[in-house]
Amino acid sequence: MKTFDWSQLDEAQKREALARPAHRAAADVTGVVREIMQDVALRGGAAVNDWCIKLDGAPPRRFAINNETLNAARDQLAPADTRAIRMAAENIRVFHQATKPEDSALIETTAGVRSKLAWRAIGAAGIYVPGGTAPLFSSLLMQAIPAQVAGVKTRVVVTPPSKDGSVHPAMIIAAAEAGLDAIWAIGGAQAIAALTFGVELEDGIIPRCDKLFGPGNAYVAEAKKQANALPAGPAVDMPAGPSEVMVVADSAADPVIAAADLLSQAEHDKDAQVILVATTKTALTAILEEVEEQVSTLPREEIARASLSEARAILARDPNDVIEVINMYGPEHLALQTEDAGDLVDRIEAAGAIFVGGWAAETLGDYAAGPSHVLPTDGGARTLGGLTTASFMTSMSVQYVNEEGARALGPIAARLARLEGLEGHARAADYRSEA
The CATH code of the domain that includes 176 is: 3.40.50.1980
- For residue 327, the tally of other CB atoms under 10 A from its CB is 16
User: Whole-angstrom Cα distance, residue 390 to residue 103?
Assistant: 12
379 domain-assigned = no
393 domain-assigned = no
Answer whether 140's CB lies under 8 Å from 157's CB: yes
Query: Residue 337: what pLDDT?
Result: 97
Query: Residue 133: what pLDDT?
Result: 63
Q: What is the DSSP code string of 184-219?
A: EE--HHHHHHHHHH-EEETTEEEPP-SEEE----HH
Query: Residue 163: what pLDDT?
Result: 84
The total domain count for the chain is 3
Q: Where are the extended beta strands (E) located within 271-332?
A: 273-278, 312-315
The torsion defined by the Cα of 74, 78, 83 and 85, in degrees rounded to 10, comes to: -70
Answer whether 243's CB lies under 8 Å from 377's CB: yes
Q: Is the same domain home to 150 and 197?
A: yes
248 domain-assigned = yes
394 domain-assigned = no
Q: Is the same domain home to 69 and 11?
A: no
383 domain-assigned = no
Question: Which phi and psi angles does 218 have, rounded to 5°?
Answer: -60, -35
Q: Is the same domain home to 427 and 341?
A: no
| Longest alpha-carbon distance in the chain | 81
Q: Give the active site residues.
A: 332-333
Query: Residue 217: what pLDDT?
Result: 82
Q: Is the same domain home to 189 and 334?
A: no
Query: Residue 135: what pLDDT?
Result: 79
Q: What is the mean pLDDT of each run of 10 residues along the chain (435 residues)?
A: 94 94 71 97 98 94 96 96 97 98 97 97 96 82 98 97 90 97 96 98 97 90 95 91 91 97 91 95 97 96 93 96 97 96 94 95 92 91 94 97 96 97 97 86
Say which DSSP state 356 is in.
E
Q: Which of 32, 297, 338, 80 is nearest to 190 (CA)?
A: 32
User: Whole-angstrom Cα distance, residue 3 to residue 9?
Assistant: 12
Query: Residue 27: what pLDDT?
Result: 67
User: Whole-angstrom Cα distance, residue 294 to residue 315?
Assistant: 21
Query: Which of 201, 236, 271 corresponds to the end of one domain?
Result: 236
Q: Is the same domain home to 176 and 216?
A: yes
Query: Which of 202, 236, 270 corresponds to the end of one domain?
Result: 236
Q: Is the same domain home to 411 and 355?
A: no
Q: Is the same domain home to 209 and 306?
A: no
CB environment 281-304: b (16+ within 10 A), e (fewer): eebbebbbebbeebbeeeebeebb
Helix (H) or strand (E) holding 299: none
Q: Is the same domain home to 136 and 63?
A: yes
Q: Is the same domain home to 326 and 218?
A: no
Q: What is the CA radius of gyration of the chain?
A: 25
List the domain range (segments joined by +) for residue 427.
402-433
182 domain-assigned = yes
Query: Residue 240: what pLDDT?
Result: 75
Query: Residue 208: what pLDDT?
Result: 98
Let me know how long the chain is.
435
Q: Is the same domain home to 226 and 251?
A: no
User: Whole-angstrom Cα distance, residue 17 to residue 217?
Assistant: 22
375 domain-assigned = no
Q: Is the same domain home to 199 and 107?
A: yes
Q: Is the same domain home to 232 and 278?
A: no
Query: Residue 25: what pLDDT?
Result: 54
386 domain-assigned = no
Query: Which of 213, 236, 259 corresponds to the end of one domain?
Result: 236
